[in-house]
Structure 1
Amino acid sequence: MNTFIKLGLLFVGILLTSCTDVIEVEVPEAAPKLVIEASIDWEKGTTGSVQTINLSLSTPYFDEDQLNPVTNATVKVTNNATGAVFNFTNQNNGSYRTYNFKPVVNNEYDLEVVYNNETYTATETLMPVVAIDEVYQSIDEGFDKDALEVNVLFTDPAGIENFYLMKFQRKGGYLAELFDISDEFTDGNQMSIFYEDEEFVVGDMIDIQLFGISKQYYNYIRLLIEQASDGGPFATIPAQLKGNCINTSNPENNAYGYFRLTQVAKESITFIE
């Protein structure tokens, strides 16, 4: 046994002293692409007049500086039903903002971004959302009977194809938890969504947002959530997802990101004893 241990240690020592060469791998870098973060979210009970669209350029994966804002573009959104045009003012930090947006559910809107002499467009419909019926905490409705969980109830309208996005964000946390929801098998019923985490403790506050989304955006965000989650050893290799922002000047140079319009219901809960 002692001989085996000595031989093992000698072998490890040889490995540690022989593996000293640094291998540099050339990583190909793609040309920067425009990234469009255009989420028009109308909170229930508000006018929805203040809206912001963010523009940036993509950066190489290993770059230390991941922020590359675009500050020389023009941005506007048009309501195709009414003809109303909403110009977004450049904030000189990558953000473009309007203070007079008028959201109308089930109306179709066009986005137009002009950057570097190229025009990017997208079309979406502003989808309505139902109210949240109830939010409560529990420990006995999830998978881990010792973990605190948030439970959200809302009632799906009958006879209408609906799609939802639910977002849970712990105060002070970095990442939100997203759930894509379809009423394909629950049309007209009260729907129950729960979110549990073994790290939740009494005193944690959870912000909850329920978005009404289009079928087109549902298909996009569902794939994005799947790619962002741990799919295990048999998961498919993530592929680049195409959003709905099209470069009409140069179709080979489409933008990353998505133009969505949603109505959103918000609630929050703080865990108690």
Structure 2
Amino acid sequence: MVTAFLFIGCKKEGSVNEIPYDLTIEGGINTYTTQQFIRITKPASLDRDHASAVSNATVSINDGQHDIPLKEISSSGVYSGVVMQNKNFFKGYTLTVIYNNKKYTATDTLLPVLPIDSTYIPAVVTNRNGGYRVTIPKHTFGTSTAQQWLILATGKTWTESKFDENFPFSYSHTFGTPDALHPLTQQSRVLDLAISDHVNIYKFSLSEAYSTYLYNLFQETDWKGLLSSVPGNVKGNISGKASGFFYATDVEMQERPLKTLAGK
């Protein structure tokens, strides 16, 4: 999902050689499939110009009653396991990682996603040259519920295991724009499709903690401007010196013909 939004933050003081964390942890629990995936890497540094996979870690997820072990897939740093009880709404899921005699933990609460409703989909569909143009803003502010979206052309699908694929997510934030005095230039994605085409719409629930983390993270990336402060590290919910956010998300997916969305 979105924990790929991780970066090496610049510290305001101290040596530029200092890396503020030992590990980067990506992934979480989702309701779309019982097969779950977590990726663990060591961050890039001056001595290592790319992140490297972490093998031989002990990884488990607790569903509130049981610890479910996750096994590494082919020395990739990706750990996977089946969590049958993946729909314990309003309950916490806890990730535990043990590596190099250090223990890292994180907990997030699973909230139910609001059903996809044609009266509100963060996209504008207009007629263009005998087809349809779909304009999808990356950020929408001041919504009643924080949500994450993914709108893909037919034939393209989302899966949690594709950590290296840059899925074009969009976000509905309960917070306002980060700087009302200096309005943001809207970031949007455009799809030009045929009249007969469909789109796959994915909608993800976000806990309050995760939505706040994402908003803070975007202030350091998407919304960083000339008048912004010096970048800092955005701390997730993982204990110890680990970067990232272990999330729990409910997922709904619908396939819709474009003509039903035109003018919405």
- In which range does the TM-score fall when normalised by the shorter chain? 0.5 to 0.7
Alpha-carbon distance between aligned partners in 2 of 1:218 and 1:119, rounded to the nearest angstrom: 25
The residue number in structure 2 matching 1:238 is: 231
The residue number in structure 2 matching 1:52 is: 37
Residues 61-88 of structure 1 deviation map (CA, whole Å, 9 limit, x = unaligned): 7955x240001101111123xx122111
Alpha-carbon distance between aligned partners in 2 of 1:67 and 1:162, rounded to the nearest angstrom: 34
Residues 219-228 or 168-177, more deviating: 168-177
Alpha-carbon distance between aligned partners in 2 of 1:174 and 1:121, rounded to the nearest angstrom: 26
Q: Map of 1:255-270 to 2, 5 A cutoff?
A: 255-268=242-255
Contact 2:147 2:206 in 1 (8 A): yes
Displacement, 1:225?
2.2
Displacement, 1:169?
5.3
**Whose helix fraction is larger, Structure 1's or Structure 2's?**
1
Displacement, 1:109?
1.8
Alpha-carbon distance between aligned partners in 2 of 1:33 and 1:180, rounded to the nearest angstrom: 31
Q: Structure 1 residue aligned with 2:52, among 63, 68, 79?
A: 68
Give the number of the structure with larger relative contact order, counting CA–CA contacts within 8 Å between residues 6 or more apart: 2
Identity %: 22
Displacement, 1:233?
2.2
| Structure exhibiting the larger radius of gyration computed from Cα positions | 1
The verdict on how the C-alpha distance between 1:150 and 1:163 changes in structure 2, with shifts beyond 3 A counting, is closer
The residue number in structure 1 matching 2:202 is: 209
Alignment pair present for 1:119 and 2:110: no
Displacement, 1:267?
3.4
Contact 2:113 2:251 in 1 (8 A): yes
Give aligned pairs, total: 210
Displacement, 1:115?
0.5
Contact 1:162 1:183 in 2 (8 A): no
1:98 is matched by which residue type in structure 2?
G
- Match of 2:219, SS? helix
- Match of 2:192, SS? coil
1:93 is matched by which residue type in structure 2?
S
Q: Structure 2 residue aligned with 1:40, among 29, 45, 70?
A: 29
Alpha-carbon distance between aligned partners in 2 of 1:148 and 1:100, rounded to the nearest angstrom: 36
The residue number in structure 1 matching 2:67 is: 85
Alpha-carbon distance between aligned partners in 2 of 1:227 and 1:150, rounded to the nearest angstrom: 22
Return 5+ residue gaps in structure 1 as ranges. Answer: 1-26, 141-145, 152-160, 185-193, 248-253
The residue number in structure 2 matching 1:30 is: 18
Q: Map of 1:114-153 to 2, 5 A cutoff?
A: 114-134=98-118, 137-139=124-126, 148-150=134-136
**TM-score, normalization: structure 1?**
0.64
Contact 1:74 1:90 in 2 (8 A): no
CA RMSD for the aligned pairs? 3.5
Alpha-carbon distance between aligned partners in 1 of 2:169 and 2:229, rounded to the nearest angstrom: 21
Alignment pair present for 1:99 and 2:91: no
Residues 109-157 of structure 1 deviation map (CA, whole Å, 9 limit, x = unaligned): 22110001000011111111122122575239xxxxx964259xxxxxx
Alpha-carbon distance between aligned partners in 2 of 1:117 and 1:271, rounded to the nearest angstrom: 53
The residue number in structure 2 matching 1:178 is: 170
Return 5+ residue gaps in structure 2 as ranges. Answer: 1-14, 138-143, 158-164, 177-185
- Match of 2:211, SS? helix
Q: Map of 1:208-227 to 2, 5 A cutoff?
A: 208-227=201-220
Alpha-carbon distance between aligned partners in 2 of 1:29 and 1:117, rounded to the nearest angstrom: 24
2:216 is matched by which residue type in structure 1?
L
The residue number in structure 1 matching 2:180 is: none
2:71 is matched by which residue type in structure 1?
T
**TM-score, normalization: structure 2?**
0.66
Residues 35-58 of structure 1 deviation map (CA, whole Å, 9 limit, x = unaligned): 111321212xxxx31101110110
Contact 1:149 1:195 in 2 (8 A): no
